[in-house]
Amino acid sequence: MFSRWWHYALALVVSLGVVGTALAGLAAALIYPNLPPLEALTDYKPKLPLRIYTADGALIREFGEERRAFIAIDKVPAYMKQAIIAAEDERFYSHGGVDTLGVLRAAASNLLSGGAKEGASTITMQVARNFFLSNEKTFTRKLSEAMLAMKIEHSLSKDKILELYINQIYLGQRAYGFEAAARTYFGKPMRELSLAEFAMLAGLPKAPSRYNPVVNFPRAKARQEYVLGRMRTLKFIDQPTWQAAVKHKLVIRQTRQQADVSADFAAEMVRQVLFEKYGESIYSSGYKVITTLQRSQQAAANRAVWQGIADYDQRHGYRGPESQVNLPADKAQRKAAIESALEDRSPVSNMQPAVVVDANAKVIRAQLHDGKVVEITGNSLKWVAHWIAGKKGRQLVPGAVVRVQAVGSTPQWRLVQLPEVEAALVALNPNDGAITALVGGFDFSRNKFNHVTQAWRQPGSSFKPFIYSAALEKGYTPATLIEDAPLTLSAEETGSTVWEPKNYDGSSTSGPVRMRTALTKSLNLVSIRILQGIGPNYARDYIRRFGFDPARHPPYLTMALGAGSVTPLQLAAAYGVFANGGFSVKPYLIDKVSDKDGRLLMQASPQRVGGNAPRMIDPRNAWLMTNMLQDVVRHGTAARAGQLGRSDLAGKTGTTNDALDTWFAGYNPDLVAIAWMGYDQPRSLGRRETGSQSALPIWMNFMGTALNDVPQKGWEMPGGIISVKINPNTGARLADTVWNTLLGNALGVETPSLEEYFYQEFPPPDAPAAVWGDSPDNTVAPETPTEPAASINPL
């Protein structure tokens, strides 16, 4: 009986095998002719993103749906290949596309486990599926995959197949291919990875979401150790190497942003230019853009803007929590409430969202998204003392949703807040217009409006130097005396209503002052009188030389105080004319663009001083303006910049009415930088906020880093300028040093010894009657030296 049933069973199995083979053969005969051609593999063109770099090679930004970085098989480290083979297909180099032993092993394993727990897809089969097929689990798809794998094996070498797999496979975090994954998870190229890191990546293809080390590190670590164990079993590594790799500490890059330095505003400018020229193809064609940005300067600009905004917030106090949530007593419910409160809040510029769980006069405890509780103590509490004490109806209690920030390497935590104010900084090389740093606002993810290029704001007193430059062309000199006295201007002169302008600080008028002093002290009344003297229409036409649009600067006397509108980038280019000796250079950001094969598509042709840059103002004019603007930095409204310890700096502060905008525009011979602060919807920054208080510290913070270890370099006086001695009180020119000394001794007064400069060709026919000299008080100096009194014996 048993023998008979055994024969029946064997016959059934054989029959099923025959039928199965016949069906498989029939299916193969029907499927094989319909398999797709292999051009996608033989002419592999991966969708490579647009990548943007600084001039010194730091990655700024990638644009594309997929993060990819192609790597040739001969550049792939041996450990990476071995880890992949150990994890995915140990007989890759011996089977013909389908691993029969692997199929039998998987079938046995699944039969014993009572389910489909293990697959048998080879690397070649995965390539077939990734390029041509879907992930549906059907017999037809699996058979097509196997047959297509065999077709691939007959057409391509093993190394080519492995290269396709290494570059095409999805590995989580929008990373396609192992080179992109290396940069995504570890922040470095594949060639710099360790064995432990290779094994971590090799564990991802099985289930990228399940074994993602950013999302679930313990599970990813277990998978990594499995891969290392397989490498040891296959004798790719020995026991000591395995032990070292298992113990190796892995540091996973948590942020999804792939950049070596943050420059999102500049990257968006580049993207817009390329999209306009090449369209949607820029996101998948592998274009590489080299910008003019310098990594160190860009990083310094980021820190300067962020710190400047943080300092402003500290000066103006804590505005309160972002929101308030109820914290139940039950632990599980409390945890759920905190997670819900933080779910839709992302970190902004290292400001972490958190929920206060305890608050008193000595400590604030706040819980982060990952469950970690941080403590804020000491001086960090002073800023929110009124809130903790509950004064004036303010309260900071458990359940408050706040922002916290780690400061220092220790780190120490402090309470911060998302700013409402904005700031911007742009820097460029005045000799060719290359933009070396650009920060268009506090955080691109919150506000994509680029204040460097899009914000048309009143420049305030930072515009005065261009009026003074126009005055020099009209015959004024830095020593020209101008009256600092009250003014009443008609509606015709202002373009609106009757106006009685005052000096910014409300200080009393001081009578005749020299033009140099007026600029150094930023005297409004003198600036208006200068504009009256040269004429608003002349000045409006003159500012074209600096790249300003006259339409944005109505020809009224208010133009003297910067009542028109400029962008920070426009102002940077204008100050560059002073910095480079009188030439106009057009700012540019993109140096060159190449395709994925390195072929050059675009190349900048910048204007260069000493080459093709057009001269806009007389070199003597540029030098005199710089000389006066150096006084602003030495002992004027920007004297604070003296803390940088450099003598090759010049610049001008700017503050508009009611402090709606604050500026500092400054430079040395090789670098111009403009700092701005204000609100998007203009409102006062505060009664004590000025250009020297708000914008100048941002500029100093940036320039202190940008010029660190850079030798000082002054401006050489051009020909056609001579220096003379004048009386600082009267502006009168003195004959020579010996005569000055004798005269001073005879009169019993201190010898005037201030050096003054003037154009050798001046005064022109239309100049004021007296134009000699130079000093920090706008004064017209007589053309002829004052004669000593007859009763004084010069001997």
- 3 catalytic residue (yes or no): no
- Determine whether 375 is an active site residue: no
Residues in the chain: 795
The answer to whether 309 and 710 have CB atoms below 8 angstroms apart is no
> Which residues have C-beta within 8 Å of that of residue 383, sequence separation ≥ 6?
314, 317, 318, 414, 415
Separation of alpha carbons 104 and 88, rounded Å = 16
- Catalytic one among 88, 90, 145, 179? 88
Q: In whole angstroms, what is the distance from residue 130 CA to residue 508 CA? A: 79
Six token digits for residue 629? 């603007």
First CA to last CA distance, the chain = 151
- Catalytic one of 380, 461, 522, 775: 461
Structure tokens at 724: 């003379």
Report the alpha-carbon distance of residue 208 to residue 214 in Å, rounded.
11
Distance, in Å, from the CA atom of 774 to the CA atom of 318, rounded to the nearest integer, reads 48
227: phi then psi, degrees, rounded to nearest 5: -60, -45
DSSP state of 379: G
Token readout for 566 is 């400029």
Of 248, 250, 173, the C-alpha closest to 208 is 173
Distance between alpha carbon 592 and the CA centroid of its chain, in Å?
19
* Pure H helices in 619-770: 619-635, 696-706, 737-747
Nearest to 571 by CA among 661, 666, 658, 657: 666
**Under a CB-based contact definition with an 8 Å cutoff, are residues 779 and 514 in contact?**
yes
Question: Which two structure tokens, joined as six digits, stand for 142?
Answer: 């699996």
Q: Distance (Å, rounded) from C-alpha 561 to C-alpha 495?
A: 14
Give the bridge partners for 497, in sequence order.
none
| Catalytic residue numbers, as ranges | 88, 461
